[in-house]
Each structure stands twice: as C-alpha cells, then as structure tokens.
Structure 1
Amino acid sequence: MRLSPREQLGEKELVVLGPSLGTSTVMWDAVAHLLGEDYDVLGWDLPGHGVSPAPAPDAEFSVGDLADAVVALVDSIVPGAASSPTAFHYAGDSVGGATGAELALRHPDRLLSLAMFCSSARFNGAEGYAERAELVAKQGTAVRLQASAEIWFAPGFLGEHPAESSRLLHTLRDADRFGYAAVCRAISAYDVRDRFGDIAVPFLAVAGEFDSVCPFSDAEWMAEHAQQGTAVELPGVAHIAPAENPVAVAELLRKHFSAAALDTRRDPRAGAVQADATQREVYDGGMVVRREVLGDAHVDRANQNTDEFTAEFQNMITRIAWGGIWTRPGLTRQMRSVAVLTAMIAHGHWDEFAMHVRAALRNGLTRDEIKEVILQSAIYCGVPSANTAFKVAQKTLADVDKEQQ
C-alpha cells in the first residue's frame, strides 16, 4: 500500500483504507495510486491476511477490536501521534467498512470522514459466517475460491480483467485459515444498527449494482440513519468496488474528502465558516455538494451556459447556497430536500421544483416520500399548488425512467 516516507507524514491529510474478508491491501492498490499525490495513504490487513501475522487457531476478536487496532496502527506510524493524535479519513470495503463504522462510534474524534463500500450495519446472513468459520478452519481458504469469485465480481469481470481477479483470488487462497475463520466469527457478531444514528462524521455509503451481499438498500439505510449521510449506487460492480472500478471509487472519495475538509472548518454551534476557510475553499466545497445533489450533467450545463453576465450569480449560489447552507451538519440531505421541495411548491418555482425532484432522488428520498411531501403541501400551500406539483413531479419521474432505460 502506498505510504509517504515516514519523515514526510503529516504534510498531507491521511487516508486509511480497510480490506474485505479474504483480500488484502492489494484490493486498494489502484485507488491508492490515484489518491497518493494528494493524500498520505495507509492500508491495513486483516489478521492472517496479506502481510498481517496469523492469529492463534482459537483467536477471538470483534470488529470493534479491529477498529481499535487501526487507531493503534496509525499512532504507531504517524510521528507525534501520542501528544497530538492524528485525525484521518477512513474508507473500507465490506468488513473493512464495518470496521469504519466501529471507528466512528468508538473513536469519533479521530475521523475526518467515513466511507463504507459494499458494507452494512449488519451483514445479511450474518449467522452463516459462524458456519463458514468452522468450514474454513478445517479445510482451508481454497474451499471459498469459487463462491468468492461469484460474489466479489460483477458479470464479465473475471474474463475482462484476468490479472486483477487472479491476484485477488490468490490473496484469498494464501490467507491463513484461522485468521479467515476469526474474521468470520467477528462478522457474525457484528451489529451496529441500534447505534448507527450516533455516527456524526461526514458519511458516504456506496453499494455495487450487482452486490448480493450488501445491496443498495443497505447503503440507503445507513445514509438515512447517519447524521450526515449520502448513499451512492455504483453501476457495473459487485462486492469489491475499489478493485472493480478504482477510477470511480477514487473520484467518489476525492469529492467526499473535499466536502469533509470544508466541514471541519465550521463552527459546530453556529454552522458558520471559521476564519481559516477561504472563499475559494467554501466555493470548492460547495461545488462538491452541488454536483453530488444535482448531478454532474446539470452542473456542467450550468457552467457551460455561464457568461460574464451570470458568472457572479453562479459563484454566489455555489458559495452561499451550496457551500454555506447545504454543507451544514444540522440536517440530513434528505431533510433538506423535503424543505426545498416544499418551498418550491409554496412559491410556484416549477422549473426549480423539477430539478429538486431529481435532487431528492439522488439524496435518497423514495418516490413515495416525494408523494408524501406533495400531499403534505396540499394542506399548507394549497391544493392548486399541489396539483401542479404532482403534474411536474410525474413528468420528471417519467423522464428519469426513460433516461435509465
């Protein structure tokens, strides 16, 4: 895993990357290469995986213990950590993502942001991991090769990327059977659903389109319950997103880290931008959020249509609306979408309403929830306004369906 030389650590923000069961840091190699020019990047291996020593045959640990070990690893590597603990961005896949959830709950002061890829607050079929632990402890990790290949990769990936897939499957074959089994037992006991609402750091949940282990509904649930959550479905990948599409993953992380960096410059009591945040930083952070909410295509069109006459207006919107309001931690993006939709209905801004129907979908609102917002507005904004809102929303949703065909 890429890591700046020891004497250079601290010059850049630190990013820590966590692996999926049966893999190692190699699953993050391409992403680390893409991020390495702008961040210090540190990867860690599960016990008995990659370069991590194998545990005792009867070893027992929890996902929370893995989170504690990650903090200890950072403190052992980063100079000055004992007197001034280093905060870092964290991204993990599957059990590596679950470790991130425990990090955010057990060590919230150490995280700048959290991104969970192909992960969950409680894994589907978690009980079966205990049975898998017994099987692998007896027969070795090779017994999981075929099943893992089917789960890890989207259709066609094995044939189109034989080197990458073979490298990961060799990592599984070479993993220590007792280490693999111990991680399985930790996964079986992992469940943070009742505590997920305590996660306050900027949070990103990413699901693969073909992930049968952690579907997009899991990512949506986590984004909805975290205090600052966003959910994204990544097309064309399954359960090992960082290895399957490193370019898309690196881009998602860059945007996420940039928005989180802006958030750290805010007064949590008042939400005001602190003095050390420049207007450029506010603008850049606002542009990240604007693209996440409205989509790259919409923002690119707005930028293409901007000329000398409208440039200052576009700059103001990005800084004040997106950099000053949408980045505040007090409301989830879903709640902000509800507020905006209601305001658009109340004032009859139908072009903006259509745009924010799309934005609401991107922010995680369901179509039924959008319908409920319009029904609620019928009482407080008037039935005629709600009638128009239904027509505009109906057309917008139909357009979205056509675009996705």
Structure 2
Amino acid sequence: MHDLGGTGPLLVLGPSLGTSARTLWGACAERLTDRFHVVAWDLPGHGDSPTATGFDVADLARGVLAALGGDERFHYAGDSVGGAVGLQLLLDAPERVASAVLLCTGPRIGDPAGWHDRAAAVRSGGTAVLLDATPGRWFGPGFAERDEALAKSLLEDLAATDAEGYAAVCEALASYDVRPHLPRVAAPVLAVAGDHDVVTPTGALRHIADGVPHGRLAVLAGVAHLAPAEAPDDVAALIAGHASSPPRDTTTTAAVRAEGMRVRREVLGDAHVDRASASASELTADFQELITQYAWGSIWTRPGLDRRSRSIIALTALVARGHHEELAMHVRAARTNGLTDDEIKELLLQTAIYCGVPDANTAFRIAARALAEPGGEPTPTTAHEPTSEN
C-alpha cells in the first residue's frame, strides 16, 4: 500500500492491469491530497508488489482490506481491474466503503477464453508481447503525443510487470462476474467511462450505474482506458464531488440545494450558471433557488436514471412543449451528459413524428446553432435567457 499523502477522509485508489498505482494515479492524486488522505495499492507482480498466484478478484479485495487494517471507512476509486475490486469491496465489505468511483471497468470484463489466452501468451513471451497493441487500447486520441513522458512511463510499467503476476490477474478476471449482485450494492456509485475505451465501453459502465440502487454515469470525452492518467483534472473533480455528496436519507434542505448547484454546474457549465445567477433580480432570485433545489437537487440527482437518459427526456419534453428558449441550453447539456451529435439528431427526428414536423424543424435549427458554437458556450438568442435559463 502506497501512502500518497494528504489529510482528511481516507481515499483508496486501485490500479489497472499492467500499471503501477503511482504512475497511473500520480497526477490525479496530487489534485486530491488537499481533501483526502490518499493511499494506493498495486496488483501482485506489479509495481512494488510481490508476485502471487491462484487468487480471484474477491481475494484481491480481501488483500486491500488486510493492507489497510483496522475498521476505518474509506472512499474508493479504481480503474479497470481496480474498479472490479471496488465492486467486490462494495459487496463483501459494505460497512467499510462510504462511496465508490469505478472507472473504465465493468461487472464483467471481457470473456474467460480471451483472458486465458492472454495469460498463456504472457507466460510464454512476457509482457513484452503486449507492448505494440497496448497504446491503442490504453490511450485516447493524441494522449501519447500530448504527454509523451507519462505514456512512456505507463508502457515501461507494463514491460516491468512480472509475467506470472500479470497472468494470474488475467485468470482472476476470467472468473469475475458480479452482474447478478449489483442490486445489493448500498453505497453511492459513480461509474466513469471513456468515450474511446474499447476495453470496457460505455455500456459496461452504464450497466453498473443502472444496476446498483444509487448509481450514476459520467462519460469523459477523448479518454480511453486509463482515465486517471489521461484526464487527471476531470477524474479528481469527479471523485471529490462524488465523495462529498451527502447520503440522501440525511440530506438537509441546504445540502439538497448545494448538491443541486454542483450538478447544475457539472451539466450546464460554470459560465452558464454564473451568468444566470448574476442576472437574477429581486423578482427572479427565488425562482433560481427553486430550480437549483428541486430540479437539480431533487430530480437530476436521483439514482433511478443516469444523466444521459434525463437529457433525452428533457430534450423531448422541450420540443413537445415548444420551449425553444430552453432548448439550446439542454442540447449543450445533453452533449456534456454523453449524447453524441448523431444521437441528438436521431432524437429530434423521432420528435418530428411524435411531436410534429414544425416543432422538430425549429428544434433542428436551434440544435444546429448550439452544437456549432465554439467551446460549447451559449450565445444569447432570446430575451428570456437571462432570467429563465435553468
């Protein structure tokens, strides 16, 4: 277990197969030590950890608890197999895990035959046999050029990983499948996908977010399989925000409003919310408070639907009711929440049938303008925007 510093609540970080926790999480951990006491662990045969054999994912979870010692509750974040161990901890030690951020993972990862084949290949030729194909699986577009030193360090960690330890983790993943048990997870879970991840695509993270009682999904643009290294600022913000979200059964009105403001800013952007707040008058200020507390704090935070689904509903309702002054804002929010431009197009095409061609025609015109705006910042188009935007 590596102590990465900081003070505050305990935050435990888990690694991806073929990486060391220090390299994968280093930059992200630096952004978290002002709020948490951060520790990280390595897989057997990875980083500084000795090799072991004959274990499964549940054994890895027990090893994390043994290394931590005591009975202190902690927040958890893990990437790939580190995320799988996080799910196992949520199931096997629910009293210990206060919240979990599970990145680039799934309740089942790959298929058993593929993992056994990879274990055999690595036992035969070492982890060097993986080096040529790994950048395409690990890194999103442009990452290796943007941060050449970190990409090189990650690949060096893979090359230095003990072949037997790597193969043993492959075999642990071959037997890992907690899909039937997701409804038992009690703690709040944030599932984080990279939109370029071919190893654990967005659907795998959506399966987690939809399957646990208190789950939600975030999708990182331009990110593949190693989100903590590829997007440390975004991942650190997601972890800090998720860990600070108050449990729903103990929330006060002030806490609901604070959570609503956090979600509102994540979905609409700081510039948008700052502008709406600054333009509030004595007449409209209470309305802004109502939006923040009830729309964003009570509805958009509910675990029953992910933000992507809520954006689909919001767009459809706005087209159906002809609320065009709000539509551009929610088109941009839908993109933030993981909808692609093609999916927004399909949604608007469907509204042409069920809401009416004239409404869809106006919606397409507004959406085209909103999606073309550089940086996603709104250009005021109606007199209503300064007071009614929500």
State the TM-score bracket (shorter-chain normalisation): 0.7 to 0.9
CA distance in 1, matches of 2:357, 2:269: 27
Letter in 2 for 1:253: I
Partner of 2:86: 100
Q: Pick from 184, 201, 225: which aligns with 2:187?
A: 201
After TM superposition, the structure 1 = structure 2 runs for residues 3-402 of structure 1, keeping only pairs within 5 Å, are 3-4=4-5, 12-26=8-22, 27-55=24-52, 59-74=53-68, 76=69, 81=70, 85-124=71-110, 126-258=112-244, 261-262=245-246, 264=247, 266-267=248-249, 273-274=250-251, 277=252, 279=254, 281-307=255-281, 310-329=284-303, 333=307, 349-352=323-326, 355-356=329-330, 359=333, 363=337, 367=344, 390-391=360-361, 393-399=363-369, 401-402=371-372
Residue 177 of structure 1 and its aligned partner are, at CA, apart by 1.4
**What's the offset of the Cα at 1:91?**
1.2
Task: State the 1:401 CA deviation.
Answer: 4.7
User: Contact 1:220 / 1:364 at 8 angstroms: preserved in 2?
Assistant: no
Provide, for residues 30-61 of structure 1, a one-character-per-residue CA deviation record: whole Å limited to 9, x for no partner: 11110001111111111111122211xxx222
Residue type at the aligned position of 1:73: A
Q: Which amino acid aligns with 1:149?
A: P
Q: Percent same amino acid at aligned positions?
A: 46
Distance 1:344 1:359 in 2: 13
Mapped contact 1:337–1:363 kept (Cα < 8 A): yes
Q: CA RMSD in A?
A: 3.4
Relative distance call for 1:327 and 1:174 in structure 2 (3 A) is same
Which range moved further: 331-340 or 238-247? 331-340
Alpha-carbon distance, 1:19 to partner: 0.4
- Name the CA shift for 1:324/1:232 in 2 (closer, same or farther; >3 Å): closer
Q: Provide closer, same or farther for how the CA distance between residues 305 and 127 of structure 1 changes in structure 2, counting only shifts above 3 A.
A: farther
Quote how far apart the aligned CAs of 1:184 are. 0.7
Q: Which one-letter code corresponds to 2:21 in the other structure?
A: T
Q: Is the 8 A contact 2:81 2:105 kept in 1?
A: yes
Q: What is the TM-score when the length of structure 1 is the normalising length?
A: 0.77
Partner of 1:270: none
Q: Secondary structure at the match of 2:132?
A: helix
8 Å CA contact 1:228, 1:333 repeated in 2:
no
Equivalenced residues, count: 370
2-side partners of 1:316 and 1:145: how far apart? 54
Give a deviation string over 1:73-125, Cα, whole Å, max 9, x none.
33x1xxxx4xxx33322111111112222222333333222222222232245
1:25 Cα deviation from its structure 2 partner:
1.2
Distance in 2 of aligned mates of 1:147 and 1:170? 14
* 1:23 Cα deviation from its structure 2 partner: 0.6
Q: Which residue does the alignment assign to 1:382?
A: none
Offset at residue 326 of structure 1 (A): 3.4
Residues 1:388 and 1:64: Cα distance change in structure 2 (over 3 Å): farther
Give 1:187 deviation, angstroms. Answer: 1.5
Q: Secondary structure at the match of 1:108?
A: coil
Which range moved further: 154-163 or 171-180?
154-163
Between 1:113-122 and 1:340-349, the stretch displaced more is: 340-349
- Shift in Å at residue 307 of structure 1? 5.0
Asked if 2 retains the 8 angstrom alpha-carbon contact of 1:119 and 1:219, the reply is: yes
Q: Distance in 2 between matches of 1:41 and 1:62?
A: 25
Name structure 2 gaps, 5 residues minimum.
Answer: 376-390
Q: CA deviation at 1:322?
A: 2.3
Deviates more, 1:217-226 or 1:249-258: 217-226
Q: Secondary structure at the match of 1:116?
A: strand
Equivalence for 1:381? none
Structure 1, unaligned stretches of length 5 or more? 268-272, 379-384
Distance in 1 between residues matched to 2:161 and 2:318, nearest whole Å: 55
